[in-house]
Amino acid sequence: MKKKKIGLLPKIVIAIALGIACGLFFPGWLVRIFLTINGLFSNFLGFIIPLLILGLVAPGIADLGKGAGKLLLITALLAYGFTLFSGFFTYFASDLSYPWLLKDAELQPLETAAVEPLSPYFTVMMPPLMDVMTSLVLAFTLGLGMSVINGATLKGAMEDFKDIINKVITGVIIPLLPLYIFGIFLNISNSGQVSGVLGVFVKIIVMIFFLTIVLLFIQFFIAGIVSKKNPFRLFRNMLSAYMTALGTQSSAATIPVTLEQTIKNGVNRELAAFVIPLCATIHLSGSTMKIVACAMAIMLMSGMPISFGVMAGFIFMLGIAMVAAPGVPGGAIMAALGLLQSMLGFDETAQGLMIALYIAMDSFGTACNVTGDGAIAVIMDRINKKSNHTGTRRDGRGGMIWYSARFNT
């Protein structure tokens, strides 16, 4: 009999519940064991994040720079524009609502908690090979360079490096996340701050669900204007993809349904077959919304300053990082950890809360991502028809062949 695997979200929920419960009665020496494990894992994350950025971003930029010409470029720019809009829309919505929604919420540093904070038994320093911004600049340089020179040797090496990074994420980081989250909430519960954190979790989850629906209506309203179609009908046709993504929590696994519903919206079948898989990789407006909203909530609770300039730079860089996010549950937040640390100053506790919050809402973000892919496809179909980049002709057997010349325009 085949064993049924437990998904990452149920594991995270169980870890949070156990961490809260165990924090109420675990003796100090046992809590310190888990703090030691968390310290080692946190230091490993600090070491691997620059390598993660380099290994994911550089090949991603190299892939975007070749092969599909203007059609790919326009699709990528449109996806990036939607992602930026999502980030700034979330920033202004959070800036307006958080002052009253999270009025009494406060996440005090554990050093100032009522209970004397515990410390790990020992720490092992793992200094990164480079800082996060250096890895980003190097990734851009290598990625753009590979797309220009079409060097097979370096490209092959970077693809192998990307495979290694993906193996580290799926084989080490993701499996250990529940234990890491358990340790975070064990420490928070032991320090007496758990009630405030859980209350904020519920408020943020409800707010982000509402914002994802508003964002999708805006995206399909724009698509309706561009294509001169009924935006409500377009959105209604994509509901099957939305519901499927809620269950699968995977953009890639939802591609068949997203593709079918996009074609029902009148998008050219071959164009949809190009745009939908591409957007499943590069369009993450829902994920961006979750990260920005959660980051601002934690910053507000922690008393960290929130300025438009800092958040604007973070959103621009986050949109690029999302393109390179691995397609696994929690992959987007893994790709964003370096930016949270370097640009917003998130410490170990704040990063742990971000991971827990993000994965708790993974279904909403994924559903927003894939449903928005349908809006992008509708817009691209209209642009494609106006620019006459594509055409069809009959083959000898009466079938339809899509002109591939559009990839080279």
* pLDDT means over runs of 10, the chain (409 residues): 66 83 85 87 82 78 60 83 93 89 62 57 84 77 81 85 85 83 80 68 85 92 91 89 75 77 86 80 87 89 86 90 68 82 84 81 84 92 70 37 32
Does 2 map to a domain?
no
Q: Is residue 395 domain-resident?
A: no
Of 204, 200, 180, the residue nearest 19 (C-alpha): 180
According to DSSP, the β-strands at 392-394 and 400-402 are antiparallel
User: What are the tokens at 242?
Assistant: 């939305």
Cα–Cα distances in angstroms (integers) from residue 255 to residues 161, 232, 322, 339, in the given order:
26, 21, 18, 29
**Could you tell me the CATH number of the domain that includes residue 374?**
1.10.3860
129: domain range?
8-389+403-408
**Helix (H) / strand (E) containing 402:** strand 400-402
Structural domain tally of the chain? 1
pLDDT at residue 218, rounded to an integer: 93
Tell me the CA distances in angstroms from 92 to 18, 98, 245, 292, 303, one per residue in order: 35, 10, 27, 10, 18
pLDDT of residue 391: 43
Answer yes or no: is 1 within a domain.
no
Quote the pLDDT of residue 63. 67
Residue 268 is assigned to a structural domain of this protein: yes
139 in any annotated domain: yes
Please state, in angstroms and rounded to a whole number, the distance separating the CA atoms of residues 290 and 270.
Answer: 32
Whether 396 is covered by a domain: the verdict is no
Question: 46 in a domain, yes or no?
Answer: yes
Query: Does residue 3 lie within any of the structural domains?
Result: no
